[in-house]
Amino acid sequence: SQKIEQNSEALNIQEGKTATLTCNYTNYSPAYLQWYRQDPGRGPVFLLLIRENEKEKRKERLKVTFDTTLKQSLFHITASQPADSATYLCALDRVLTGGGNKLTFGTGTQLKVEL
Amino acid sequence: SQTIHQWPATLVQPVGSPLSLECTVEGTSNPNLYWYRQAAGRGLQLLFYSVGIGQISSEVPQNLSASRPQDRQFILSSKKLLLSDSGFYLCAWSVRGHSNYEQYFGPGTRLTVT
């Protein structure tokens, strides 16, 4: 079955540094991979989607890479701020019969940006 | 703009009692709808999805059921709750007809079964 691994340990970094989160997966070849942010007690919020034929995707201070050979995605936040503190979820995308897509989520990595 | 509502926000129910959680979406038509559960320390698990009124697909066997009586309404139910049903329940929607678009999540319902 599909398996997604994200660092279960929290990542603590200093404000202004670049945070790098890792998502590894096995037993699957997704056409798309998505990243979400989740704050405590809230629903996840979509951040970025990257396709299998894209090596890199950027949005403001965010950057995602997708290496289908290594079966790995890296999520970077540059010039990190305390407001970036949250749990970041990686999700593999699979098309469902009849339309729609199924997202298989990792357990997420908690990021804490300290002053 | 589109919005998604879930209620109640929190719920404490005894074992064996029934459950009904409701989700509604505004500002879009014919959305794909999803129910997820997030147990403490675990990832989001897809429970049900729907691509149209009356069309429900189940991802995991359990004592839960889902219904879609209207285009933008999605209901999660149980006849008898188990302790293991405790968790954070999230409803989500995505654009119909697209297979690679993001999902938009509601605020969630925190269910505690005692």
pLDDT one-digit tens code per residue, B24-68: 999 998 899 999 999 887 789 999 999 889 899 888 867 899 999
Residue with tokens 């945070």: A19
Beta-sheet pairing, B109-113 with B10-13: parallel
Task: Note whether A104 contacts B: Cβ–Cβ < 8 A.
Answer: yes
Give the residue numbers spanning the domain of B15. 3-113
Contact of A84 with A75, CB cutoff 8 Å: no
Region of A24 please: left (phi>0), alpha (psi -120 to 50) or beta.
Answer: beta
- For B98, which DSSP code? -
pLDDT at A35 over 90: yes
Q: Do A96 and B99 touch (CB under 8 A)?
A: yes
CA distance B84 to chain A (A): 18
pLDDT the model gives residue B100: 60
Q: Do B102 and A44 touch (CB under 8 A)?
A: no
pLDDT the model gives residue B40: 80
A–B interface: beta-carbon pairs under 8 A = 71
Number of domains in chain B: 1
Residue B7 sits in a domain whose CATH number is 2.60.40.10
Nearest CA in chain A to B90: A43
CA distance B4 to chain A (A): 11
pLDDT one-digit tens code per residue, B64-101: 999 999 999 999 999 999 999 999 999 999 987 655 67
Task: Note whether A51 contacts B: Cβ–Cβ < 8 A.
Answer: yes
- Phi first, then psi, for residue A29 (nearest 5°) are -130, 85
Identify residues of B whose CB sits under 8 angstroms from chain A CBs.
Answer: 32, 34, 41-44, 46, 49, 51, 55, 57, 59, 90, 92, 94, 96-108, 110
Nearest CA in chain B to A52: B100
Nearest to B99 among A43, A46, A95 (CB): A95
- Phi first, then psi, for residue A83 (nearest 5°) are -65, -15
pLDDT the model gives residue B98: 55
Domains and CATH numbers, chain A: 3-114 (2.60.40.10)
